[in-house]
Structure 1
């Protein structure tokens, strides 16, 4: 997501505040957003592998800016739906592209082992910038400047898109998919490509086919893809953090919820920042960390200070483990279609997110806590054997 590059997004809830839409209509909009992500996740990854990644990031930023602009111009259900489609496509363009760009850049510099540390810092920065952006959006909206909050969002997305064009474009790993066999018929995935960034291999469909085939055909890679999908899918619980903070006998007052959520964001930043150190953990230890996250989530619904701390522990540990499993995934991708393969994991995360939504509807955070512990039990197996 572009939030991994230069994050500054006012809360989209601000755009709904004066819309007059029903809860059913708002839920339908989230469904439009989710379906858009499901349909475009992997195809957009192949686009990133086919064309310069910085251009793909820029296009994603422009589409998200367009989504905000449509919301401002057409503040009704149809306009919001169109904006969510643009936003969903833009988000899918970032997914996989950022990871591939960072890993390839570090590999070109000869330090791919630094990926967990750098990835953790990027994720931590994305969490930390929620603080000033949420504060700015809230102040603008409180002052009655609804349009100002929207146009600031548009400008921020466009500025990030322009900044992305300054990123260096390292050579792609491995030969183009239609040339990935040596005269003796053996693949040579490690030979660096000498193609210029604007000419990065064969056609789009060939790139998509090779990326999906690699993701499906290599057991170790399949295991890492599944681990990322399972852990990343738990991010969907963030949508319910306000409800968790406000529920229970010691639940916070509605007016205090936004401020308390910043504490959870700080915990997420701290956990992500520890991802580099946690990358040394083996599968069993990593599973233990994620298991503790699940246990903490089980206590989060109690409300009050204890519930807030428990929710922060869950979020911090989940973000830490996510950085580690994403690093394992990047280490196991060997072909040119890195963003496509990574997007397969993101597609899996979207499916897991749907399960999280269903679990919340059935029983709230305790059911999701049980699911988190179940994922922890699976992690050693999928990370070792695929």
Structure 2
């Protein structure tokens, strides 16, 4: 019963946190205000670089302070960034909002996974982490899918993109409240500022070393970084759909189908957590081929097939993450996860740079083909990288 209650709270939080109708429209909002695809790519690069700078120190911070408050602060920063975009849809405001969102990403990276693992461990259910995270991911994507459908509906009724954005900000406030009311597992040692600073440096060092010295953990880290870093195709779907003739009211529906693909990927990970690595690799290869085909066809409706391609890639990410968390030491889990996030941010920055460099006007097609091709190549490494089961960390240290 305790597990069921915790899962319900986590699933509700996951849904509300990602119920963000502005996600699918913000690139259009800025494009309508004179921001080009190349400008957007530059901002995405700044976003990723700042994430690189903040990723590791924020992960270490999440190993020594209350992770609930850290996540609450992260969500508040993201909402503030969206508010800045709405107030001033200019390039400086886009950069400012991206900086705040990057701070959110860094603070939440590692802290979120570690918090959920700790919540389960506190009730003796840590072995359920993989399946619970798969379900949480599904509720994340249900929130995204629901919000894109909502955005399409109210845009179709005549609402402006700006109005959709302010609804997004209001919903974000609910997410903050839900995070702060999660159960307190009370594992963090309190102390004065000096002891916290010493603990932060020691935790940062220990977590980074753990990620490098454990071969299984290191391989899973590299694979997780690659998959996460290259899953940026959806960032450009609204622009690509518009270039292919889709209207503002239709674009959210196209993205809605892509989110459904991610939900299907989560279902696969939940039902088949022990799927063989070779089968998973084959599915990822098939998925990337489907994505490449969808991008190549100059039809907005063909872009829906990207959801089919995203499904196995999402499953691979969830399964690799579950085995990564099982192999990570508990007291430096957030830091080790942030090392993985650091790698993902580095790869994302490179991907955004390539899209920007290869863009023809507002058309990101050439760069997206490069990203999908690289993701396909990474599938060949899955059998050697993702074990059927990751060994549990030998000590909670």
TM-score by length of 2: 0.80
Q: Tell me the distance in 2 between the aligned counterparts of 1:242 and 1:36.
A: 24
Query: Match for residue 180 of structure 2?
Result: 165
Q: Tell me the distance in 2 between the aligned counterparts of 1:60 and 1:230.
A: 24
Query: Match for residue 290 of structure 2?
Result: 296
User: In the alignment, is residue 204 of structure 1 matched against residue 200 of structure 2?
Assistant: yes
> Structure 2: where are the runs of 5+ without partners?
1-12, 359-365, 392-397
Aligned residue among 209, 233, 236 for 2:232: 236
User: In the alignment, is residue 378 of structure 1 matched against residue 378 of structure 2?
Assistant: no
Residue 301 of structure 1 aligns to a residue whose secondary structure is: helix
The answer to whether the Cα contact below 8 Å between 1:245 and 1:307 also exists between their aligned partners in 2 is: no
The answer to whether the Cα contact below 8 Å between 1:289 and 1:321 also exists between their aligned partners in 2 is: no
Query: Match for residue 320 of structure 1?
Result: 315
Give the deviation of 1:152 after TM superposition: 2.3
Map 1:136-285 to 2 at 5 A. Answer: 136-137=150-151, 143=158, 145=160, 147-170=162-185, 172=187, 195=189, 203-242=199-238, 253-254=246-247, 256-285=250-279
Aligned residue among 6, 17, 36 for 1:6: 17
Give the deviation of 1:158 after TM superposition: 2.1
Give the deviation of 1:51 after TM superposition: 0.6
Aligned residue among 133, 143, 150 for 1:129: 143
Give the deviation of 1:76 after TM superposition: 2.9
> Structure 1: where are the runs of 5+ without partners?
173-192
Per-residue CA distance 1:18-55 (angstroms, 9 max, x = gap)? 53445554443333222222211222111211111100
Residue 167 of structure 1 aligns to a residue whose secondary structure is: coil
Give the deviation of 1:138 after TM superposition: 5.1
Structure 1 pair 306/77, CA: closer, same or farther in 2 (3 Å)? Answer: closer
Give the deviation of 1:104 after TM superposition: 1.9
Query: Match for residue 353 of structure 1?
Result: 348
TM-score by length of 1: 0.82
Give the deviation of 1:341 after TM superposition: 0.7
Give the deviation of 1:140 after TM superposition: 5.5
Structure possessing the higher relative contact order (Cα contacts under 8 Å, 6 or more residues apart): 2
The answer to whether the Cα contact below 8 Å between 2:16 and 2:174 also exists between their aligned partners in 1 is: no
The answer to whether the Cα contact below 8 Å between 1:43 and 1:208 also exists between their aligned partners in 2 is: yes
Moved more, 159-168 or 10-19: 10-19
Moved more, 15-24 or 195-204: 195-204
Aligned residue among 34, 51, 68 for 1:37: 51
Residue 49 of structure 1 aligns to a residue whose secondary structure is: coil
Give the deviation of 1:276 after TM superposition: 1.9
Per-residue CA distance 1:56-113 (angstroms, 9 max, x = gap)? 1110011112212333444433233222111110122111111111122222222223
The answer to whether the Cα contact below 8 Å between 1:221 and 1:329 also exists between their aligned partners in 2 is: yes
Give the aligned length. Answer: 361
